[in-house]
Structure 1
Amino acid sequence: MNVNDLKTSKFLKKEDVGEGVLVTISQLTQENVALDGAPADMKIVCHFRELDKPLVLNSTNGQIIAQVTGIGEDIETGWVGKQIVLYTDPNITFQGKLVGGIRVRAPKNQQQKPDLPF
Structure 2
Amino acid sequence: MSDPVSSIRNLGPAFEQACARAGIHSADELRQLGPDEAYARLLRAGTKAHFIGYYVLVMGLQGRPWNDCKGEEKKKLRQRFDAIKAGNSAAPENRMVADLDAVGVRVEPKDLKQV
TM-score past 0.5 threshold: no
Range class of TM-score, shorter chain: under 0.3
Q: Between Structure 1 and Structure 2, which shows a larger proportion of helix residues?
A: 2
Q: Highest CA radius of gyration, 1 or 2? A: 2
TM-score (norm 1): 0.27
Q: Between Structure 1 and Structure 2, which shows a larger proportion of strand residues?
A: 1
